Chains A and B, each alone.
Chain A
Amino acid sequence: MSILELKNTGKKFAGSQEWAVKGFDLTIEKGEIVGLLGESGCGKTTLLRMIAGFETPTQGTILINGQVVAGQGVFIEPQNRLVGIVFQDYALFPHKTVWENITFGLFKLTRHQASVKARGILELTGLQGLEERYPHQLSGGQKQRVALARAMAPEPNIILFDEPFSNIDSMRKHQMRDHIQNIIQETGATAVFVTHDTKDVMAMADKVSVIRKGKALQTDTPPNLYNFPANTYVADFFGKTNLIKAKVSEQGLETPLGIMQSNQNLPASMGEVLLSIRPEEFKISEHEPNCFCGNIVKERFLGEYKELTCKIETNTGDDTEIVIYAAPHIDCSSQKCYFRPNQDKINIINRD
């Protein structure tokens, strides 16, 4: 049985014309870490708040552990859902110590049980020794760990994170991601987090739902989203890509640059398509068969790789530009670049 199921879930705020979330489907299994990715205002936070019970869906059903918590005439109050949440501003109670914050959700246990549990969670999150501190005496990272510890203490069905890394500087981000991921995986907890940063989901999530204007565009694993984006929005969101129009024919893919070969089995009946090729999916060599040639118009050194912008004359007479990531040692003095796309990584996407 799934931990969380969203069926056709939608939300339209009173007085608003647009749906904040519309027809959203998502299933989360126990132990999964799922990212909800999108730009600000795309509806991802509304989705999170509906799962927690702070917003009532206008449409659809939400099930937690197979039990309907919203929809079908049912509404379970947030306090009865056993859903933990780590807020963007951490929302630690300023008048309570770390210990009191963590035990705040353990009021149904006996004093002894609560203290055993709280001690366990303090150890897990590495907060020992800070029990008597007040939130204002903690660093940002410590605050986040207290917020996590507090949310995990009642052993919720699922833990929700709202933009967990937006308040943490990029230097500490990696560390925090690893730390949180370890804690979640160690306890076998299920987590959903909302973010606008693709690096967050790449680093942490087992499964990601890319959201735009309240709708899920694509839900898949991070590598699949990167390599096989379903449409141009997802393709762009995960980094640079080259979008090339093509027509499927007997010879292969007819593009303005010439014929490309794909290892996928593409029937000619597909007709006009759009290709997405990531900049690193090109082999640079003049000795390859069927390679293309372009003039390097821009060369940027970016550390691990070089970003080359190549201008190629198309068969319609116009020029087009292709972005290629090349190894830093490649010599570009000739101003010419011969390249060939990786036949496994030519991806056909939806036009939108």
Chain B
Amino acid sequence: MLKYLSTPYRAISNRQLSNPWIGWAFFVALLIALPLIIVFSNIFMDGGTTWQHILKNLLPGYAINTLILMAGVALLTFIIGVSTAWFTSTYHFPGSRFFTWALILPIALPAYISGFTWAGILDYASPVYVFFRNYLGVDMGQFLFFNILSIPGAIIILSLSLYPYVYLITRAWFSRQSSNLFEVAASLGKKPGAIFFGVALPMARPAIVAGISLALMEVLNDYGLARHFGVDTFTTGIFTAWFSFSHPQSGLKLSAYLMIFVLALILMERFQRRQMRYDMVGNHYRPLEKKKLKGFMAAMAFTASVIPFLLGFLIPVIMLVYWSIKTAPQVVDYRFWELLGNSFMLAGLASLIVLGVALFIAFTVRSFPSPFVRILSRIATLGYALPGAVVAIGILVPFLWLDAYLLQWSGTGMRLALTGTWLALLYAYLVRFMAVGYNSVDSGMERISKSLDEASRSLGHSNMTTLFKINIPLLSGAMVSAALLVFIDVLKELPLTLILRPFNFDTLAIRAFEFASDERVAEAAPAALIIIITGMLPVLLLHKILGKDNK
């Protein structure tokens, strides 16, 4: 008996270790975790005098500003996201069908682009100002209560481009609710307002918090807007440490502190989700029947929806189009096309790499679903929570070591630098955007019955041929959407690319940001517009899918 028991256990553990799929997945997970490990291990090291200076004089300010930004964005995205989600999912009002998808569009506008566009619009010399002054004889400045280049300004702009996270998740949650639930509340004599605050809102809490957490992660990730608006946050602090003080050690330490924010955010989100687990009203599910709003309520719903759409999307885009038309003849030269080529090439390569690795990891989890392998997949997708600057610093530091080592090894004559190459940049994108690709691929794979894989295996095919002959052909849709999402994320990525890009290498996002930093907002418009149009693709595709579901 004992012999029977012991032999197979040995066989299994040998299989786990020698299995090339699991072995490679382990390697990939390690590679992706490396920047994180480096950032964290640094927290205990001595930072030197530069760090002492930052710690004493700058860190408190960074922390306070970051916290204020987070609190403000949490509040504002909550108000905009939840109210629009509630109105569009439960009521008919003028334009409600249009707003259902149009309210997602601001997600295509990165906060830093929206930020410098609004700063441009509200500038004293902007065409809007000039128009009001010259044709209507009105000085718009007297109506503006505050300078947009401030913390409140940053909060508003960030919220306008991040509320779609809250809107999308909350709206999906509302639409999945059975209308019985709300009808019961109504039959108990509750007024619509009381139903919203008493039933819908508390029940949707997990969805709302999930959406706000995503928005806040983007706040921590943001560099461009904070820098443009002159708000010193952790992320801009990392840049200051690296570029102004040339002190990567301090950058690492700041990154570690920033990670604590991220971790707290993730834990809070997890915790509240575990506390609250509601059963769906199972058997008698009826989708929400939308009620028609009239009069004052309809006007209110319309206003609540049109403001975020106008401010978060339409006005900045119209402005960018106007500027693009004006500046295109000078800006769009051969350098611009080179830039476009760079950006698309980089984004294309990154999305192919992410797609390949995501496929590999997802298939390994599918074929060898042990707890160990599941943990590996979790580690491999950690990067979505890491701000781009943290990933960049976490990769930059080991690459600098490696370069120093290579220099020593190769003698003095040759310089085999890896820092500032596409290799470092692509590695960073893999770490940062792995989760985006993985989630698409994985949810696509889950829709394929596992017995298809097993049928293929029993017919004599290995795991590898099964992946190529069965899974990949059936995954084409999920693979396209995974690649597209990563492509767009890379295209608009700013902080990570700024830190790791090769010398003299520009992308559309960097060029737009640099023009805007030089107070040449109009020249930044063409590059910004290309990023926005590409970013709209998945929203429009999503709308098509949503439309199908409705029918």
Contact = CB atoms under 8 A, between A and B. Distances in A.
B462 interface: yes
Contact of B454 (A60, A73, A78): A78
B11 A14 contact: no
A14 B282 CA distance: 31
A23 to B, nearest CB: 10
A89 B451 contact: yes
Interface stretch (A26-34, A91-99, A116-124, A328-336): A91-99
Given A95-B474, A108-B460, A59 B455 contact: no
Interface stretch (A49-57, A180-188, A261-269, A272-280): A49-57
Given A14-B371, A59-B5, A91 B455 contact: yes
A79 B8 CA distance: 20
Contacts of A72: 7
A164 interface: no
A84 interface: yes
A261 B337 CA distance: 102
A85 B455 contact: yes
B326 interface: no
Interface in A139-153: 150-151
A76 to B, nearest CB: 11
A107 B457 contact: no
B8 A151 contact: no
A71 B8 contact: yes
Query: Which among A71, A77, A84, A93 has the highest number of chain B CB atoms within 10 Å?
Result: A93
B244 interface: no
B11 A56 contact: yes
Query: Which among B454, B455, B459, B473 has the highest number of chain A CB atoms within 10 Å?
Result: B459
B8 A95 contact: no
Contact of A73 (B10, B452, B460): B10
B481 interface: no
A255 interface: no
B459 A104 contact: yes
B458 A84 contact: yes
Interface in A51-71: 52-54, 56-61, 70-71
A83 B12 CA distance: 21
A61 to B, nearest CB: 8
A83 B458 CA distance: 6
B57 interface: no
Contacts of A84: 458-459
B448 to A, nearest CB: 9
A87 interface: yes
A60 B4 contact: yes
Given A8-B4, A14-B370, A74 B456 contact: no
A75 interface: yes
Interface string B397-436: 0000000000000000000000000000000000000000
A52 B459 contact: no
A8 B371 CA distance: 27
Nearest to A160: B458
A105 interface: yes
A59 B11 CA distance: 11
Interface string B170-214: 000000000000000000000000000000000000000000000
Contacts of A77: 457, 462
Contact of B11 (A74, A80, A87, A89): A74
Chain A, interface size category, equals 35 or more
B461 interface: yes
Contacts of B49: none
B15 interface: yes
Contacts of B10: 73
A67 B536 CA distance: 59
A82 interface: yes
Nearest to A108: B460
B458 A107 contact: no
Contacts of B370: 14
B7 A79 contact: no
Nearest to A15: B371
Contacts of B470: 93
Query: Which among A56, A70, A78, A80 has the highest number of chain B CB atoms within 10 Å?
Result: A78
B24 to A, nearest CB: 17
Interface string B363-387: 0000000110000000000000000
Contacts of A38: none
B134 interface: no
Interface string A7-26: 01000001000000000000
Contact of A53 (B5, B457, B461): B457
B283 interface: no
B457 A87 contact: no
A43 interface: no
A150 B11 contact: no
B451 A87 contact: yes
B449 interface: yes
A154 interface: yes
A91 B454 CA distance: 9
Contacts of A81: 458
A173 to B, nearest CB: 21
Contacts of A91: 449, 451-452, 454-455
Contacts of B9: 58
Contacts of A79: 457-462
Interface in B1-54: 4-5, 7-12, 15
A87 B451 CA distance: 7
Nearest to B456: A104
Contact of B459 (A70, A73, A105): A105
A73 B461 contact: no
Contacts of B451: 87-89, 91
A156 B469 CA distance: 21
Nearest to A78: B457
A8 B3 CA distance: 12
Given A79-B460, A82-B460, A91-B451, A56 B474 contact: no
B379 to A, nearest CB: 20
A57 B8 contact: yes
A310 B110 CA distance: 83
Contacts of A58: 5, 8-9
A95 B473 contact: yes
Nearest to B4: A59
Interface of A: 8, 14, 52-54, 56-61, 70-75, 77-85, 87-89, 91, 93-95, 104-105, 107-108, 150-151, 154, 156
Those 9 A-B pairs whose CB atoms lie nearest each other, nearest first: A105-B459, A91-B451, A91-B455, A78-B457, A87-B451, A85-B458, A79-B460, A95-B473, A73-B7
19 contacts: A53-B457, A56-B8, A59-B8, A70-B8, A74-B11, A79-B461, A82-B460, A84-B459, A85-B455, A87-B451, A88-B451, A89-B449, A89-B451, A91-B455, A104-B459, A105-B459, A105-B460, A107-B461, A150-B455
Given A151-B459, A154-B459, A154-B460, 11 more contacts: A8-B4, A58-B8, A59-B4, A70-B8, A79-B460, A87-B454, A88-B451, A91-B451, A91-B455, A107-B461, A151-B458
